[in-house]
Copies of this chain bind each other. A is one copy, B any other.
Amino acid sequence: MTIPESVPLLLTVEDYARRAKELLPSGMWGTLYGDDGAPDFRAETGNVEAFRAIRFRPRVLVDVQHRNLATEALGAPISLPVMIAPSGHQQRVHRDGETATARAAAASGTIMVLSTASSFSIEEVALAASGTLWFQLYWMRDRRVTQWLVRRAEDSGYKAIVLTVDMPGIRSRERDVRHEWNLADESKLGRTLEPDRLLRNFSGLEQAIPGAEAPTQAAFNEAWDDSVTWKDLDWLRSFTTLPIVLKGVQTAEDAELAVQYGAEGLIVSNHGGFALDDATPTIEVLPEVAEVVNGRLEVFLDGGVRTGSDVLKALALGARAVLLGRAPHWALAVNGEQGLRDLLEILRIELNVAMAFAGTADVNRVNAAIIRRG
């Protein structure tokens, strides 16, 4: 994709959103990537607005000459506390799809979480880049398939399993129908998606597991197991040594259970507004989760992060790092791998500036004293 000379300036994450909205088919934007206050995305709108409402208490005359943005996630170094959230079908916004994302994440020194629903396979993405990768897992009804996915991730060097727990095999179809956007109908996708790249990770399933049936895109959600409970995590443990991160925790109660059942990490998330309307904004959930966890596992957050100061707020309220869900799609749509590298650089600079202004020099030592109470 060649960006014409006349593009608006791309100085912020929201600039990428605006540009991507112009570039993408409107149905795709409205169905998948929008964040502009449509009622059917109001949980994500809530996420963004909740960040805006939080005020800083900046400290002064602190030595901020040497600022450190680097930290670790499950032991792996990241150069800034911003990671790539899992999201599927990235080839729809750029030909190189998840391989571009993985290369950008690696180049920027951060971790990409690959979606089960990726358009490049676990193995293809592992080969594409040298950075740390985590694998996001939808727990399939056919447990053999679940196990097959996890083992492939482990074999390909992925460093954690991110189990999505906020999408129990059901979702609203309103957006799809409203925008007349049929995810399964390739002829409407219009862009660069290659025919065999929908649910790429399930290619070869029939050969690998006799009797197993690869899910269709149209019925993908229905293949997920909505009867999984905390006790089933033991089964996952039984065949993988990878750390487990639970994505979608939204209450202190479930954070405590995550600790009790031995998860190594959790992501406070409401699935970017794709799950329950009127879910509590993630940045408002974070404090109760961080308090109950009290360091017993690693806490991450996604939903609504648009600026470096948002990242700093999340760190102050207890997150080790944040993950970006929509923004990587925006960046890929605008300029592929380079777009995402540029977008991550914007956040790095904004976070760096925000830290200096807030009087906090190390992402590992940010605390809630820089946030206004009440």
Residues of A within 8 A of B (CB): 9, 11-12, 46, 52, 54-65, 165-166, 168-172, 174, 177-178, 225-230, 232-233, 246, 248-251, 253-254, 257, 270, 275-281, 284-285, 307, 309, 313, 350, 352-354, 356-359, 369, 372
Q: Are A253 and B59 in contact (CB under 8 A)?
A: yes
Give the distance in Å from the alpha carbon of A276 to the alpha carbon of B371 in the complex.
12
Give the distance in Å from the alpha carbon of A120 to the alpha carbon of B165 in the complex.
50
Q: Are A356 and B170 in contact (CB under 8 A)?
A: yes
Give the distance in Å from the alpha carbon of A109 to the alpha carbon of B322 in the complex.
46
Give the distance in Å from the alpha carbon of A61 to the alpha carbon of B169 in the complex.
12
Closest B residue to A279 by beta carbon equals: B56
Query: CB within 8 A of A352: which of B170, B278, B313?
Result: B170
Q: Are B228 and A61 in contact (CB under 8 A)?
A: yes
The smallest beta-carbon distance between A374 and chain B, in angstroms, is 10
Query: CB within 8 A of A251: which of B58, B229, B254?
Result: B58
Query: CB within 8 A of A55: which of B62, B254, B279?
Result: B279
Give the distance in Å from the alpha carbon of A58 to the alpha carbon of B273 in the complex.
13
**Inside 8 A of A60's CB, which chain B residues have their CB?**
165-166, 246, 248-250, 254
The smallest beta-carbon distance between A130 and chain B, in angstroms, is 31
CB contact under 8 A between A168 and B278, given known A11-B178, A250-B58: no
CB contact under 8 A between A165 and B61, given known A56-B278, A277-B307, A278-B55: yes
The smallest beta-carbon distance between A179 and chain B, in angstroms, is 10
Closest B residue to A51 by beta carbon equals: B278
Q: Are A228 and B63 in contact (CB under 8 A)?
A: yes
The smallest beta-carbon distance between A35 and chain B, in angstroms, is 15
**Inside 8 A of A279's CB, which chain B residues have their CB?**
55-56, 58, 357
Q: Are B372 and A280 in contact (CB under 8 A)?
A: yes
Give the distance in Å from the alpha carbon of A11 to the alpha carbon of B175 in the complex.
9
Q: Are A251 and B59 in contact (CB under 8 A)?
A: yes
Give the distance in Å from the alpha carbon of A343 to the alpha carbon of B279 in the complex.
24
Q: Are A229 and B354 in contact (CB under 8 A)?
A: no
Closest B residue to A277 by beta carbon equals: B309
**Inside 8 A of A232's CB, which chain B residues have their CB?**
61
Closest B residue to A275 by beta carbon equals: B357
